[in-house]
C-alpha cells in the first residue's frame, strides 16, 4: 500500500474504535446498570489499547509525515485533514510517554479529591493535587511551545485554535469597560417575579411533553439523534447521523429543562448539519469549543429567551401546564426567564452576567501561567475579582474557587471559550438578520430557515475551516465583541426600563 492507502485504512479503524468507545461512554451516562460498570471498564481498557495501537502504529505515523510534506496531489479537504492530524501527532510526540501516563493517573484521582473538597468546603485538601495539575500543565506548555505559540497561548489554542491572550484581552477588556458597569446597574433594579413561577411544582411528565414539542419546533432530527435524561445535560456525537442529547428535569423550576434542551439542540443541530461525507474523516464535528458554544447560546438565548419565540409558544406551555400557569401572563414569564441576578455560581448565572464569571476564571488562569499567581493564593484572588466584576464576596470556597471541576481535569484554557461563544452568537445574529428577519421567522415558527442559514454559513464545513476564518466567512468580518455588548445592553435596558 502507498502512504495514502495506509493512512486511509488506519483512519477507518480508528473511527470504528472511536464509535465503539463513544457508545459505551454514552451508555454509562444514560442507562448502564451500576452492576455492569466494572465489566464495561474492562472492555474500554481493551478497546483503548487497540485504538492506541492503530493511532501510534509506525506505518501510520510515517504516512502522516510523508503526506504532510507531499500534499500536492491531495484534495483540498485531505490537505486540511492531514495538517490537523499532523499537528496532533507532533504534540503527542513531544510529551514524554511516562509523564503523560502519570498525568492521566493524577487526573483519575483529581476529580474525586475536588468533589470531596467542595463538599467539605476544604480548599487546603484540594491544593496539593491542584498544584500538581498546574505544574504538569506548565511543563506541557514548555513541551508544546513553537516559534509562534508560547505560554498560556498554547493552552488557549487547544480549545480555540488561533485565539491568543492578545485576542482574549481585547475581548474581556471590552466587557470590563462597556458591560460590567451596566450589569452592576441592571442587577440593582427591583424585579418582581410571579410566585406561581418561583414557588410552583412542574411535574416531570409535563416537562417531557413540552420538551418533545420543542424537538419538533427546532427541527432536531430524531432519525439522527435522541433525547434522554442524565444528571447533567450534555450533547454527545461522533457523526452527523448520530448526535444525541440529554437534559435534566427539576420539578421546582420550569425553566431548567426547557433551556438546557434548547441549548443542547444548538450543539446537536450543528453536528447534524455537517457535510455527511465528513463522517468518515477527521473533519467531522464542530471546529472548536467557541464556535460550538456560539451555536448553543444562539439557540438558547437569542431565540429561546426572545419575546418573538414565546409570542408563538407560550400558549402551548400554558396548555401543558394549565393549572400551574393559570393567570400567569406571558410578560411575567418573560421577566422570569430573563431575570438578572448577581450570583456566585457560574452555571446558575443569567445571560447578562454569565461572561463576567468566565472573565474571573480567565484572569486567574492568565496569572497562573505568567507567574503572577500561586495556587495557594487562588481563593483570595478569586474573591477579589468577584467583588470587582460582580459586586459579590463569596462566603465560602465551595461557592467560590471550588465550584468548577474543570481545573481538576487539567482543562486550563477551556473557560474563555464559554464567553467567546456567547459573543460570537451575537455577531452571527447581526449578520443573519441582514438575510432573514429573525424575529418574524421565529414568530412564524419557521426555525428551519434559521437552521438552513447556519448550515450554509457555518455548520456544513465541520473542521475544514479554522475558527477565525469561519467567523470571517460567515459574518464577513473578524470577531467583534461590540455586537455582544450592544445586544445585551439593548435587550436588558428594554426589559428593565433603564438607560443602556
Positions annotated as catalytic residues are 264
Reference 5, options 49, 62, 84, 53; nearest CA is: 62
- Nearest CA to 263 among 250, 276, 248, 278? 248
The set of cell numbers assigned to 493 is 435596558
Tell me which residue of 78, 162, 144 sits closest to 466, measured CA to CA.
162
Q: Cα–Cα–Cα angle for 277, 280, 285, nearest 5°?
A: 80
Distance between CA atoms of 106 and 100, rounded to whole angstroms? 10
Q: How far apart are CA 125 and CA 116, in angstroms?
A: 9
| CA distance from start to end of the chain | 65
Distance in angstroms (rounded) separating the CA atoms of residues 202 and 320: 10
- For residue 107, the tally of other CB atoms under 10 A from its CB is 16
Instruction: Tell which residue, 19, 486, 480, has the closest CA to residue 241.
Output: 19
CA dihedral 118, 119, 123, 127 (to 10 degrees): -70
Beta bridge pairs of residue 229: 247
Site of grid cell 498525568 = 103
* Sheet strands side by side (includes 227-229): 227-229, 242-247, 235-239
CA neighbours within 13 Å on the CB side: how many for 328?
24
Collect all residues with Cβ–Cβ distance below 8 Å to 271 and sequence separation of at least 6: 235, 237, 239, 240, 243, 285, 286
DSSP structure class, residue 404: -
φ, ψ for residue 466, nearest 5 deg: -65, 150
State whether residue 242 is helix, strand or coil.
Answer: strand
Q: Are 110 and 407 in contact (CB under 8 A)?
A: no
Q: Nearest CA to 238 among 459, 18, 51?
A: 18
Q: How many CB atoms lie within 10 A of CB 377?
A: 13
Amino acid at each position: 500500500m502507498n502512504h495514502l492507502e495506509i493512512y486511509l485504512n488506519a483512519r477507518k479503524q480508528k473511527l470504528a474504535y472511536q464509535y465503539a468507545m463513544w457508545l459505551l461512554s454514552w451508555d454509562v451516562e444514560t442507562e448502564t446498570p451500576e452492576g455492569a460498570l466494572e465489566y464495561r471498564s474492562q472492555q474500554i481498557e481493551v478497546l483503548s489499547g487497540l485504538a492506541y495501537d492503530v493511532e501510534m502504529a509506525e506505518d501510520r505515523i510515517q504516512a502522516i509525515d510523508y503526506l504532510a510534506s507531499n500534499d500536492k496531489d491531495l484534495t483540498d479537504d485531505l490537505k486540511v485533514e492531514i495538517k490537523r492530524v499532523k499537528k496532533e501527532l507532533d504534540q503527542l510526540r513531544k510529551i514524554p510517554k511516562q509523564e503523560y501516563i502519570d498525568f492521566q493517573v493524577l487526573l483519575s484521582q483529581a476529580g474525586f479529591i475536588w468533589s470531596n473538597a467542595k463538599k467539605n468546603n476544604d480548599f487546603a485538601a484540594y491544593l496539593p493535587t491542584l498544584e500538581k495539575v498546574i505544574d504538569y500543565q506548565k511543563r506541557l506548555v514548555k513541551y508544546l511551545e513553537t516559534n509562534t505559540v508560547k505560554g498560556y497561548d498554547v493552552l488557549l489554542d487547544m480549545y480555540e485554535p488561533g485565539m491568543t491572550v492578545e485576542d482574549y484581552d481585547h475581548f474581556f477588556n471590552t466587557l470590563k469597560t462597556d458591560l460590567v458597569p451596566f450589569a452592576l446597574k441592571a442587577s440593582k433594579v427591583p424585579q418582581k417575579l410571579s410566585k406561581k413561577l418561583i414557588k410552583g411544582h412542574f411535574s416531570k411528565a409535563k416537562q417531557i411533553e413540552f420538551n418533545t414539542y420543542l424537538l419538533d419546533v427546532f427541527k432536531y432530527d430524531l432519525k439522527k439523534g435522541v433525547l434522554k435524561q442524565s444528571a447533567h445535560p450534555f450533547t454527545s456525537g461522533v457523526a452527523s447521523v448520530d448526535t444525541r442529547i440529554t437534559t435534566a428535569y427539576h420539578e421546582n423550576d420550569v425553566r431548567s429543562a426547557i433551556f438546557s434542551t434548547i441549548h443542547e439542540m444548538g450543539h446537536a443541530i450543528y453536528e447534524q448539519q455537517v457535510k455527511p461525507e465528513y463522517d468518515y474523516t477527521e473533519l467531522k464535528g464542530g471546529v472548536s469549543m467557541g464556535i460550538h458554544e456560539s451555536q448553543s447560546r444562539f439557540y438558547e438565548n437569542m431565540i429561546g429567551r426572545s419575546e418573538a419565540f414565546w409570542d408563538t409558544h407560550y400558549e402551548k406551555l400554558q396548555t401543558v401546564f394549565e393549572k400551574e400557569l393559570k393567570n400567569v401572563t406571558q410578560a411575567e414569564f418573560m421577566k422570569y426567564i430573563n431575570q438578572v441576578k448577581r450570583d456566585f455560581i457560574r452555571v446558575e448565572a443569567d445571560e447578562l452576567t454569565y461572561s463576567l464569571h468566565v472573565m474571573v476564571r480567565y484572569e486567574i488562569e492568565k496569572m497562573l501561567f505568567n507567574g503572577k499567581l500561586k495556587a495557594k493564593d487562588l481563593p483570595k484572588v478569586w474573591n477579589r475579582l468577584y467583588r470587582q466584576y460582580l459586586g459579590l464576596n463569596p462566603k465560602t470556597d465551595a461557592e467560590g474557587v471550588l465550584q468548577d471541576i474543570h481545573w481538576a481535569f487539567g482543562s486550563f484554557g477551556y473557560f474563555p471559550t464559554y464567553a467567546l461563544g456567547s459573543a460570537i452568537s451575537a455577531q452571527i445574529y447581526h449578520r443573519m438578520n441582514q438575510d432573514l428577519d429573525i424575529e418574524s421567522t421565529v414568530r412564524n415558527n419557521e426555525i428551519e430557515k434559521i437552521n438552513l442559514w447556519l448550515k450554509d454559513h457555518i455548520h456544513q464545513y465541520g473542521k475544514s475551516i479554522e475558527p477565525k476564518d469561519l467567523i470571517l466567512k460567515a459574518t464577513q468580518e473578524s470577531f467583534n465583541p461590540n455586537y455582544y455588548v450592544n445586544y445585551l445592553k439593548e435587550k436588558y435596558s428594554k426589559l428593565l426600563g433603564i438607560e443602556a
